């Protein structure tokens, strides 16, 4: 009697972002990527950074925001990994270092020119992501609106807005603005 073994081949993608904060553009990008892949590795980049004007959220807060947003729209948690990865300051070794933190993957989704170059040089496939209302859906814009007291909550998933408010992160951004951040630009 013959038993055939069938190995299921999954397409696993990788998406890198700082998610400072996670916003509706990120959510649209993840939805787009998940239509093209079976699983997605979401890399929370610059994970060591927090409590700075351009990086106010901790890695744990960013992971929480992503998870809340994906759960809200019913994305099965078995389809994604969220993995914090610290910066590597030597560009030539960045991609190999990144690979040591994550499961295997077949394709990287990015629009960032340096990321695209480094991925291609490493011999991996890279694909662009459509930009979803990029002018509005920018973390810099959201942080600026929080700081100035303008409406920002419509630019992030509802659960993320609630988290930012209830966890004190919005107030942190305001409080940090009173300190001297001369070397840290928005």
Give the tens place of pLDDT for each residue, 4-47. Answer: 554 557 899 999 999 999 999 999 999 999 999 999 999 999 99
The domains of the chain, with CATH numbers, are 12-177 (3.40.50.620)
Q: How high is the pLDDT of residue 8?
A: 59
- Cα dist. 137→14, 21, 24, 62, 155 in Å? 20, 10, 6, 16, 6
Q: How high is the pLDDT of residue 54?
A: 92
**Mean pLDDT value across residues 140-168:** 96
Q: Which value, in Å, is the radius of gyration of the alpha carbons in the chain?
A: 18
What is the rounded CA–CA span in Å between residue 169 and residue 173?
6
Q: How high is the pLDDT of residue 182?
A: 43
82-108: pLDDT as tens digits: 999 999 989 999 999 999 999 999 999
Q: How high is the pLDDT of residue 186?
A: 45
21 cis-preceded (ω within 30 degrees of 0): yes
Nearest to 17 by CA among 68, 63, 52: 63
Residue 7 or residue 143, greater confidence: 143
* pTM above threshold 0.75: yes
């Amino acid at each position: 009697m013959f038993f055939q073994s069938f190995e299921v081949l999954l397409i696993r993608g990788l998406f890198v972002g700082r998610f400072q904060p996670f916003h509706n553009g990120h959510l649209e990008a993840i939805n787009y990527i998940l239509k093209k892949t079976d699983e997605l590795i979401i890399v929370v980049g610059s994970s060591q950074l927090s409590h700075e004007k351009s990086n106010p959220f901790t890695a744990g807060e960013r992971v929480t925001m992503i998870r809340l947003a994906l759960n809200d729209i019913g994305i099965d948690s078995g389809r994604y990994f969220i993995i914090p990865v610290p910066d590597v300051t030597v560009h030539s070794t960045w991609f190999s270092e990144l690979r040591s933190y994550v499961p295997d993957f077949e394709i990287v989704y990015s629009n960032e020119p340096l990321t695209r170059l480094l991925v291609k040089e490493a011999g991996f496939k890279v694909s662009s992501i459509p930009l979803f209302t990029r002018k509005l859906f920018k973390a810099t814009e959201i942080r600026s609106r929080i700081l100035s007291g303008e409406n920002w909550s419509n630019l992030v998933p509802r659960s993320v807005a609630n988290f930012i408010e209830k966890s004190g992160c919005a107030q942190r951004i305001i409080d940090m603005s009173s300190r001297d951040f001369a070397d840290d630009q928005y």
